[in-house]
Chains A and B, each alone.
Chain A
Amino acid sequence: MASKIKPAELLARTDHRPPRTGWMDTPVVIREGMYCYASNPKSVEYVGLPNARAWNPLEDDWKLPENWQEILHEGFKERLERFRTFKVFMDICVRCGACADKCHFFLGTGDPKNMPVLRAELLRSVYRKDFTAAGRIMSSLFGKHISGARELTMDVLKEWWYYFFQCTECRRCSVFCPYGIDTAEITIMGRELLNLIGLNIDWIATPAANCYRTGNHLGIQPHAYKDMLDFFVSDIEEFTGVTIDPPQLNKKGADILFITPSGDVFADPGTYTCMGYMMLFDYLKKVYGLDVTWSTYASEGGNFGFFTSHETMKRLNAKMYAEARRLGVKWILGGECGHMWRVIHQYMDTMNGPADFLQEPVSPITGTRFENAKSTKMVHIAEFTADLIKHGKLKLDPSRNDKIRLTYHDSCNPSRGMGLLDEPRYVIKNVCNHFYEMPPNTIREQTFCCGSGAGLNAGEDMELRMSGGLPRANAVKYVHEKYGVNTLGCICAIDRAVLPALMDYWVPGVGVAGLHELVANALVFPEEEGPREMNLRGEPLGAEEDADEE
């Protein structure tokens, strides 16, 4: 799976000096390892997106509709009216450069078009020409270099496609911009435009189609979903000695509907986090009578529509409320996922609300009202668990995680889209004795992206991913060397899927774990007899192996 390029080679060619030629004169070269394959026409068709066809980014002919420029122009215009962000961000950038070296893709590749400001200029240059009088006049008088306004040519379009799929929409750049210009928002618009003429990538199109049909991005059908959860029940018993009931599925009248990204159900090490949720819910059921159901229909928290268009996002997101209504639950609890939470927090209620058929979320165990989720009726599991711990409702033995020397990766979306920073840290400190923060410029709202978000976690763009993940890995490496950190905690399923490869590449010896895997390992069940011998991964517990790790 790893990139063909050795880490040393990759570093050696990461040069932050811009090339001699100006950016408008530097044509895009679509390079192997830096892009994702074009979408499979079947998937594009399935979700009703335009211009489904087989195409190859490396070929000259992208098989676009005859009037592609017109479609894009109209699409651009429509979006300027629909989104004030877009219009304002097109107008007010002063090119101060504060965002330039904040993007992990620029830091890792040195490609100046990965500076957020230039990524936005790719669209802005066309905006000036097509939508501003000053830009039009100046460019006809003095040309594109002076005016900064250029025609939308095929080369420009290729540039759009290449660089809008080299942005993980992580919003780090936005934190530093004096006007809050959010290049993620610009990328979202850019990708929407590209989708209008069928320029998608398959790692987004096919998962989106799968989510639409089966409810989850891997295309897992209901019976298989159930099998998988049942299988975890026996794993848990085997490794921890704790017997839990299989989770309830599609159960009408349960108190709470739980939705998590399907990555947790089907890929290591997300699966351990999934077992963690199951153990926690079983514990809460046995001790406090909590009634949680999972759903096979709404079996994906992650929303690949978010990387496609606002409309596709809305279509996929609709399942959550629809299922909550059908099952008649009181409110919804959401698992550990990054962009799923950005969508839930910032878009769901607006797109698919009001959720007036649900009740204001109250923890049935502690009685806490989750006032911050009063309207959406959806609570993050880190908030839920932190509250349980604060009220002393969980019996925890953090020493069971003593083998773990943990650092915590703030996943971009929860941190920069919600501000979910201290809840997971509170949980961590209660379930884990050895916790070390990475340097301040790399955590909390300044956290670095894993480099593979927003649908870029394909196998074929591994070089891009390893470059983009470099700043994250560098910070982990620091605490790895300084404190012997051996585990990177996170609350995002994409992180769990992609960080292991990143760690193997840059910081071998560091594993990846979700928050609730650590919670479950520390959780002492009432009927549990004697000390636990293994963790959820089937590895022996205990600190005696510390020496090997350091």
Chain B
Amino acid sequence: MNVNYLFSLATVVVLIVLTWIGVDTLGLKGFFGIIIPYAAVVLFIVGVTRKVLNWANSAVPFRIPTTCGQQKSLPWIQQDKIDNPSTTIGVVIRMLFEVLTFRSLFRNTKAKFKENYRLSYRWEIVLWATALAFHYAFAVVLLRHMRFFFEPVPLVIRLLENADSFFRLEFFSPYFAVGLPGVYMSGLVLLGALLVLLGRRIFLPQIKYISLASDYFPLFLIIGIAATGILMRYFAKVDILAIKAFAMGLLTFNPAVPENVGTLFYVHLLLVSALVAYFPYSKLMHAGGIFLSPTRNLANTTRAKRHVNPWNYTVHTHTYEEYEEEFREKMREAGLPLEKE
């Protein structure tokens, strides 16, 4: 039994139960539908701003990029312009690859002792593929939700939706209501990726060993979000138009709680709010931090250009005069040149 994931799971369950009681029994629709989402967004904006400013306030005294390829040196030696950039453009490309394709993670290998204790390294792609699938699916789901906030729905969003539901999983169709607009791949990929990521933490001994409650919590939270979303879309036929009116109300600061949307919607909304509020105060800030990571976002030009340390101060050094003072006799005997005879 691992207290870390039980605690995280329990927290998510408690959040769900509280919403259920609050909305269903106590009828606090306004609280869960309006106050909490607004509060979450405020916490998010304040938190992210503070965190980023806080990072930006720390100095970058030395230029220390990790070089993952050949440096720029002699003209006839082929430089690795992306992994060892020497120009701003190179850095931008390196960062784009990092952010959009998780390039460093792509290198991942798994080390293992084979027979006779020979260490071997296998290319390990599961983490990279799952992480990439998770992030992209999440992004698509997020963008799809924009249709709730716009009237008319922008063309890009509609195109994205079409693409997302293009690959219909026909073999599922008998189980779903007739007239369903197709199954969104993104939701299923998201849920699948989350389960793999969670599985890694639970079943791989080393990963389990390093995992904290704060690693399980966001996973359970997002699983909850994805699951309630899927339930609403395919099983609990929620009134989409009512939700859209509600969302636009929130956006235009003219909020009104929706009628006939069922408690499931409030649960979904609360879990999303929890995620939004939790984001800036947790490891989820890696999304912002990656842009500020000095081992990746600096060009490797330290010998070519001088880089100034804002808090540099003078230190006492052992000067040549002091040195010669101490060793003058010995230096003279050895015939070494002296400043003072």
What is A's interface to B at a CB cutoff of 8 Å? 11, 14, 16-18, 22-23, 48, 80-89, 91-98, 100-102, 107, 112, 115, 117-118, 121, 132-134, 142, 145-148, 171, 174-182, 185, 212-215, 221-223, 226-227, 249-252, 296-297, 310-311, 314-315, 318-319, 322-323, 326, 344-347, 349-351, 353-354, 368, 370-376, 378, 383, 386-387, 390, 415-423, 426, 439, 441-442, 444-446, 470-471, 474-475, 477-478
Look across to chain A and name the residue whose beta carbon is closest to the beta carbon of B212: A148
Query: Do B337 and A351 have beta carbons less than 8 Å apart?
Result: no
Query: Do A226 and B207 have beta carbons less than 8 Å apart?
Result: no
Q: Which chain B residues border A354 with CB–CB below 8 Å?
A: 306
User: What is the CB-to-nearest-CB distance from A20 to chain B, in angstroms, rounded to a whole number?
Assistant: 10
Query: Do A421 and B69 have beta carbons less than 8 Å apart?
Result: yes
Given contacts A350-B63, A419-B84, 17 further A-B contacts (CB under 8 A): A82-B58, A89-B293, A97-B127, A112-B209, A181-B293, A182-B64, A311-B315, A344-B303, A368-B74, A372-B304, A376-B304, A417-B64, A418-B300, A420-B73, A421-B71, A423-B77, A444-B69
Query: Do A319 and B318 have beta carbons less than 8 Å apart?
Result: yes
Query: Which of these, B78, B109, B303, contacts A374 with CB under 8 Å?
Result: B303
Q: Which of B185-193, B258-266, B323-331 contacts A (4 or more CB under 8 A)?
A: B323-331
User: What is the CB-to-nearest-CB distance from B11 to chain A, in angstroms, rounded to a whole number?
Assistant: 10
Query: Do B77 and A426 have beta carbons less than 8 Å apart?
Result: yes
Q: Is B340 an interface residue (CB 8 A)?
A: no
Query: Do A223 and B105 have beta carbons less than 8 Å apart?
Result: no
Q: Is B165 an interface residue (CB 8 A)?
A: no
What is B's interface to A at a CB cutoff of 8 Å? 3-4, 7, 51, 54-64, 66-74, 76-78, 80, 83-84, 86, 98, 102, 104-105, 107-111, 113, 117-119, 121, 127, 131, 200, 204-215, 281-283, 285-286, 289-290, 292-296, 300-309, 311-312, 315-320, 323-324, 326-327, 330-331, 333-337
User: What is the CB-to-nearest-CB distance from A539 to chain B, in angstroms, rounded to a whole number?
Assistant: 31
Distance in angstroms between the alpha carbons of A82 and B207 in the assembled complex: 32
Inter-chain contact total with CB atoms closer than 8 Å: 315
User: What is the CB-to-nearest-CB distance from B48 to chain A, in angstroms, rounded to a whole number?
Assistant: 12
A16-B206, A85-B295, A372-B303 given; A96·B334 CB < 8 A: no
User: What is the CB-to-nearest-CB distance from B113 to chain A, in angstroms, rounded to a whole number?
Assistant: 8
Q: Which chain B residues border A423 with CB–CB below 8 Å?
A: 73-74, 77
Task: Give the top 7 A-B pairs by smallest Cβ distance, nearest first.
Answer: A419-B71, A92-B289, A419-B67, A223-B334, A180-B295, A180-B296, A18-B209
Query: Do A315 and B331 have beta carbons less than 8 Å apart?
Result: no
Look across to chain A and name the residue whose beta carbon is closest to the beta carbon of B339: A326
Q: Which chain B residues border A418 with CB–CB below 8 Å?
A: 67, 71, 300
Listed by A's residue number, 8 A-B pairs whose Cβ atoms lie within 8 Å are A95-B283, A180-B294, A181-B293, A297-B324, A350-B63, A419-B300, A420-B73, A441-B109
Query: Do A445 and B68 have beta carbons less than 8 Å apart?
Result: yes
Query: Do A88 and B55 have beta carbons less than 8 Å apart?
Result: yes
User: What is the CB-to-nearest-CB distance from A302 to chain B, in angstroms, rounded to a whole number?
Assistant: 16
User: What is the CB-to-nearest-CB distance from B329 to chain A, in angstroms, rounded to a whole number?
Assistant: 9
Q: Which chain B residues border A296 with CB–CB below 8 Å?
A: 331, 336
Query: Which of these, B119, B320, B334, contacts A470 with CB under 8 Å?
Result: B119
Distance in angstroms between the alpha carbons of A368 and B208 in the assembled complex: 54
Query: Do B303 and A376 have beta carbons less than 8 Å apart?
Result: yes
A118-B210, A175-B104, A375-B304 given; A471·B317 CB < 8 A: no
Q: Which chain B residues border A177 with CB–CB below 8 Å?
A: 104
User: What is the CB-to-nearest-CB distance from B24 to chain A, in angstroms, rounded to a whole number?
Assistant: 28
Distance in angstroms between the alpha carbons of A323 and B321 in the assembled complex: 11
A349-B307, A422-B70, A470-B119 given; A80·B206 CB < 8 A: no
User: What is the CB-to-nearest-CB distance from B170 to chain A, in angstroms, rounded to a whole number?
Assistant: 35
Query: Do B323 and A81 have beta carbons less than 8 Å apart?
Result: no
Q: Which chain B residues border A221 with CB–CB below 8 Å?
A: 327, 330
A145-B3, A226-B334 given; A84·B306 CB < 8 A: no
Distance in angstroms between the alpha carbons of A98 and B309 in the assembled complex: 32
Distance in angstroms between the alpha carbons of A94 and B335 in the assembled complex: 61
Distance in angstroms between the alpha carbons of A226 and B151 in the assembled complex: 84
Distance in angstroms between the alpha carbons of A92 and B3 in the assembled complex: 23
Q: Which chain A residues border B292 with CB–CB below 8 Å?
A: 84, 88
Query: Do B206 and A315 have beta carbons less than 8 Å apart?
Result: no
Query: Which of these, B62, B127, B302, contacts A96 with CB under 8 Å?
Result: B127
A97-B210, A101-B110 given; A180·B293 CB < 8 A: yes
Most buried by A among B208, B292, B303, B317: B303
Query: Do B283 and A94 have beta carbons less than 8 Å apart?
Result: yes
A419-B300, A422-B70 given; A95·B215 CB < 8 A: yes
Distance in angstroms between the alpha carbons of A133 and B280 in the assembled complex: 12
Q: Which chain A residues border B311 with CB–CB below 8 Å?
A: 82
